[in-house]
A and B are shown apart, each in its own frame.
Chain A
Amino acid sequence: MNETPAIELRRINKSFGPVHANKDIDLVVKKGSIHGIIGENGAGKSTLMSILYGFYHADNGDILVNGEKVTIPDSKAAIGMGIGMVHQHFMLVDNFSVLENVVLGAEDSAMLAGGLARARTELKRLEDEYELRVDPDALIEDLPVGLQQRVEILKALYRSAEVLILDEPTGVLTPAEADHLFKILEVLKNQGKTVLLITHKLREIMAATDMVSVMRRGEMVATRETKNTSMEELAELMVGRSVLLRVDKKPAEPEAPVMEVANLTVTDSRGVQVVKDVSFSVRAGEIVGIAGVSGNGQSELLETLSGIRHATTGTLKINGETIDLGASHLDAADMRAKNMGHVPEDRHRMGLINSFTEYENSILGYHRDPAYSKGLLMDLGAIKKAAVSEIEKYDIRPPNPLLKTANFSGGNQQKIVLAREIERDPEVLLIGQPTRGVDIGAIEFIHRRIVELRDAGKGILLVSVELDEIRALSDRVLVMFDGRIVGERGANAEEGDLGLLMAGVDNNNAAEGGVQ
């Protein structure tokens, strides 16, 4: 075996403004291996790989390629060191031929003809050696995504890459295409190449890698030999059990269902089913938590119920009214009119307009409410008064309704959103990732508010990728995997039990209880 690792990272740090995306990352990648890096969305995997590919610069830390310390100022340097990358979103020119895309940036000389001819012969050779067949004269836009990805791999091999980084390569592939990709990776490995596979899918790690490193919230938390680990262990490592959250609450006293979802199916823009035949109910006075590794359909479920995304089929019963979600395209305003509040998962993208002031944000989505208007104009006095009362009640700091929301901390921004939704007195509140990027003090405050709302007899649907949060708050836990609800547990569900369900390991009576 080769002793010198192909890639070694030592104490890599990278921050984007206040966000510490990579904290003291160490990583050793053996030559001729397939090394997986797994972690949830936002764990810092892509940032780390972009540093290795010269797209970003590490704030500090060392990179060693073949045992030698190097600096990688740009992608050109990375390519020169034999590092190639297949990006999640393909870096191809759609109206160029395969050949032109392969040659771009590696043209040999100022005249194209020579480079194109050399590339044509070289592609032929690579085709035979790695079984990567593509018509060199086809236009990229005419190729299916699986083949486009193959072009990306060829691009890297053409630049004689020894280390190939693949960033979430299966996100756009069908299962059959993904299987084919893994076969290609196996061939690459047998030819002595080193592969770094970035993914958040456990199944892929188990199927394709020799080694696996787990990232969580910007940190590298573990490295294992794939054959000595299990999906459950990896799932646990990914989600983490860092802080043990405790929320004081009485047992729930649920009453009649306030929201019932039946046979909900959602298809995304790529035509892939992301929510598959999901049915459940939420009763007044209970918190229903949806657990799962991110990317298993929870976000789409939340977006559909809040009216941001359209369902393919399914019904929603709310306030005694039954709505066919597949036929009637209700939008977010319609859903709010039905007394459904929504705290979106991503407050920056969906919850707030950061360049607006606090008081303007405090009525977003409720701006049509007659209480806030005087004829054609907004009643700024009334809006500010309501904003000030929310600021006091939710301890939003700094207590200044004229400040832009961009200037509030994550926790206070989240409180602004929460105050806006709760103070409109909804019957059902949908909450996504209530404490993502929120400091510990605000977490406690937010959790208390959610429990208070439950005690006031409202129905709450909570989606979170933090297993601790789900376990601390929920009166019932539904676990989503691959777009389906694969199990239901009570308030005191075991962490290991939930971890298994989240990993898609359907061991025991997963269907117990079913829909209540």
Chain B
Amino acid sequence: MFEDFILILDSTVRLSTPLLLACLAGLYSERSGVVDIGLEGKMLGAAFGAGTVAYLTGNAWIGLLAGIGVSVALGLLHGFASISNRGNQIVSGVAINFLAAGLTALLGQTWFRQGGRTPSLPEGGRFRDVAWPLAEQVREIPIIGPIYAELLSGHNILVYAAFLAVPLTWWVLFRTRFGLRLRAVGESPAAVDTAGISVTWLRYRAVIACGIFCGFAGAYLSIAQGSGFGVNMTAGKGFIALAALIFAKWKPASAMFTCLLFGFLDATAIRMQGQEIPGIGEIPVQFFQALPYILTVVLLAGFIGKAIPPKAAGIPYLKERS
């Protein structure tokens, strides 16, 4: 029973990593006042870019860089539409989602002729799990042993990066000049502008940060968790990350716990597949898959506290004419 639980937690960590990365990506963007519904598209683009380049070079790190590159490029597109040209941020985000979904499948099929998939990665093209020292030796120690060997040890490096990014993001937001300005521009761009800071450049930097994190998230899917890109492999994770961001009220630590919760639901769903629960019977997988959304809706309806977005989120900044 305990072993089972540890295994569920272990896969919780694996499943919540891409959510967490995407959620932090959205956090940078939305804190600056740029709503990003295109997390999904950027992740997908990054997954494809990483999968392709890692296959061609046989180097996971170069693959990761390629994923980040694709994602940042899509982010800049979003920035160009919504910051420079003050377009509607939702429309731009949706466009990016369509663009990424279509383009990855098309290019994948054209280049590799495997139904849109990228070929399986060679050795070195994929991030391997890192075993912590003495993991095998302590496995047999009750309680601490499995926690160390299964839960903490044995993940790939992107998992650790994702969880380290949480305190890092907190530190950036609340302890640096960039963070102060980032939070300010999402609340009151006019105050930032009159303080002599460029609203445009600040928001572009936020969008780039968002792109970098989405790049990590996408690369995780195709060259760490999986071994190659598959058509539409994000499967809505970008949207769940967005829901998690709202659920976490745009705060880094809450984002981590929310993503772990959503990952846990996902892991439980997989575990419970085909299993009878005494007195209830078999719970459909869809129930667990829907839970993150249900929880978010419940939150938005005001049952669990209140989610107040950054005040200027979604509103293009225009100097007032007196």
Complex Cα spacing A112 to B178, Å: 9
Q: Which of B132-185 contact A (CB under 8 A)?
A: 174-181, 183-184
A156 nearest CB across to chain B (Å): 10
Given contacts A75-B193, A107-B180, contact A91 B188 (CB under 8 A): yes
- In the complex, which residues of chain B have a beta carbon less than 8 angstroms from the beta carbon of A47? 322
The CA-CA distance from A288 to B152 in the complex, in Å, is 84
**Least Cβ–Cβ distance between A215 and chain B, in angstroms:** 13
Q: Is A92 in contact with B188, judged by CB distance below 8 angstroms?
A: yes
Interface check A469, CB cutoff 8 A: no
B2 to chain A, nearest CB (A): 44
B191 touches A92 (CB 8 A): yes
**Which one of B18-26, B35-43, B194-202, B223-231 is at the A interface?**
B194-202
* Chain B nearest CB, measured from A324 CB (Å): 37
Contact with A along B212-224 (1 / 0, CB 8 A): 0000000000000
Cα of A89 to Cα of B178 in the assembled complex, Å? 25
Contact with B along A94-106 (1 / 0, CB 8 A): 1110001101111
Contact across chains for B321 and A16 when beta carbons are under 8 A apart: yes
A104:B180 contact, CB within 8 angstroms: yes
Alpha-carbon distance A322/B177, docked complex (angstroms) = 62
Interface string of B297-322 (1 = CB under 8 A from A): 00000000000000100000001011
Q: How far is the CB of B175 from chain A (nearest CB, A)?
A: 6
CA A105 to CA B198, docked complex, whole Å:
10
Question: Which residues on B sit within 8 Å (CB–CB) of A265?
Answer: none
Q: Mark A24-51, 1 if CB is under 8 A from B, else 0.
A: 0000000000000000000000110010
Contact B322 A104 (CB under 8 A): no
Asked whether, in the complex, the Cβ of B177 is within 8 Å of the Cβ of A109, the reply is yes
**CB-CB < 8 A to B192: which residues of A?**
104-105
What's the least CB distance linking B249 to chain A, in Å? 12
Are the CB atoms of B190 and A110 closer together than 8 Å? no
Q: What B residues does A115 contact at CB under 8 A?
A: 177
CB distance from A16 to the nearest CB of B (A): 6
Tell me how far the C-beta of B10 lies from the nearest C-beta in chain A, rounded to whole angstroms. Answer: 37
Chain A residues whose C-beta falls within 8 Å of the C-beta of B188 in the assembled complex: 91-94
8 Å CB contact of B180 from A79, A85, A92, A100:
A100
Residue numbers in B under 8 Å from A182 (CB-CB): none
Closest Cβ of chain B to A358, distance in Å, is 25
* Complex CA–CA separation, A134 to B128 (angstroms): 56
- Does the CB pair B176–A111 fall under 8 Å? yes
Using CB atoms, name the residue of chain B closest to A92. B191
Given contacts A16-B321, A105-B197, contact A94 B180 (CB under 8 A): no
User: Total contacts A to B, CB within 8 angstroms?
Assistant: 79
Considering the complex, give the chain A residue whose CB is closest to the CB of B197: A105
For residue B321, which residue of chain A has the nearest CB?
A16
Q: Are A112 and B180 in contact (CB under 8 A)?
A: yes
Given contacts A85-B194, A91-B195, contact A107 B177 (CB under 8 A): yes
CB <8 Å contact, A113 and B175? yes
- Indicate which residue in B175, B197, B311, B321 contacts A112 across the interface (CB closer than 8 Å): B175
CB atoms of A104 and B176 under 8 A apart? no
Most chain B C-beta atoms within 10 Å of own C-beta, residue among A46, A96, A103, A115: A96
A130 interface residue, CB < 8 Å from B? Answer: no
Nearest CB in chain B to that of A111: its residue: B176
Are B175 and A111 in contact (CB-based, < 8 A)? yes
Chain A residues with Cβ below 8 Å from B177 are: 107, 109-112, 115
Residues of A106-122 contacting chain B, CB below 8 A: 106-107, 109-113, 115
Q: How far does the Cβ of A158 sit from chain B's closest Cβ, in whole Å?
A: 11
Residue of B nearest to A53 (CB): B194
Q: Which residues of A contact B194 (CB under 8 A)?
A: 53, 55, 75, 85, 87, 91
> Which residues of B, 85-110, contact A by the 8 Å Cβ criterion?
none
Q: Does the CB pair B322–A75 fall under 8 Å?
A: no
Chain A nearest CB from B300 CB (Å) reads 20
Q: Assuming A75-B194, A101-B191, is B175 touching A93 (CB within 8 A)?
A: no
Whether the Cβ atoms of B191 and A93 lie closer than 8 Å is yes
B322 proximity list for chain A (CB < 8 A): 21, 46-47, 50
Most buried by B among A87, A93, A101: A93
Q: Which 6 A-B pairs have the closest CB atoms?
A: A76-B196, A105-B195, A46-B322, A91-B191, A107-B177, A91-B194
